[in-house]
């Protein structure tokens, strides 16, 4: 079953951001683009490389009007401890959402029940709270922040230009396609 256009459920979770704990709700997400970036656990191996790369690209996501939310089933206290101890994670300034009750992991269908952990999943959510892009990878496969940014840009473009679509490797400013009977069999 596809999650495309699924509206995310209501949630209230704790987060760690910039040295502070805060509450994040669905209402905080609505009205802008969001990337929910699930990873299995703090203090692990692939995760810090991914979160660091997201941190290095965070300004570009913000320039697109997209908030980044990293999510694991750890508590906000564990997020703070990891942020304090890891050179890579100390670079993170986007919200690190704590999901120990598995509310988000279940809603986005990435919970591994036997382990109490989340799969490695990335979900781009539009300003209406609907999933427009998602990918879930095996635990040992890291993701690319620049590709996720490109997907945010493409999703935004398609939303704003409903009569056009973005071909493979599309970048902002590049040629798009306008689906029509004339294009059938021409590509």
As annotated, the active-site residues are 47
Q: Between the CA atoms of 129, 135, 140 and 144, what dihedral angle is there, to the nearest 10 degrees?
A: -90
Residue 139 structure tokens: 């635990």
3-class DSSP state of 84: helix
Q: How far apart are CA 81 and CA 5, in angstroms?
A: 35
| Number of helical (H) and strand (E) elements in the chain, helices listed first | 5, 9
Closest among 97, 117, 102 to 51, alpha carbons compared: 97
Are the C-beta atoms of 118 and 137 separated by less than 8 Å?
no
């Amino acid at each position: 079953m596809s999650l495309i256009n699924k509206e995310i459920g209501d949630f209230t979770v704790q987060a760690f951001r910039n040295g502070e704990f805060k509450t994040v709700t669905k209402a905080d997400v609505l009205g802008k683009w969001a990337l929910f970036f699930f990873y299995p656990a703090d203090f692990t191996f692939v995760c810090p490389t991914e979160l660091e790369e997201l941190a290095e690209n965070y300004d570009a996501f913000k320039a697109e009007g997209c908030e980044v939310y990293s999510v694991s089933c750890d508590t906000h206290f564990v997020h703070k401890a990891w942020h304090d101890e890891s050179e890579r994670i100390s670079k993170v300034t986007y919200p690190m959402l704590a999901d120990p009750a598995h509310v988000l992991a279940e809603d986005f269908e990435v919970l591994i029940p036997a382990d109490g952990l989340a799969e490695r999943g990335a979900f781009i959510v539009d300003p209406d709270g609907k999933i427009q892009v998602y990918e879930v990878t095996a635990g040992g496969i890291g993701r690319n922040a620049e590709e996720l940014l490109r997907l945010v840009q493409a999703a935004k473009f398609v939303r704003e230009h409903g009569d056009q679509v973005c071909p493979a490797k599309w970048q902002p400013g590049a040629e798009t396609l306008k689906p029509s009977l004339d294009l059938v069999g021409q590509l």
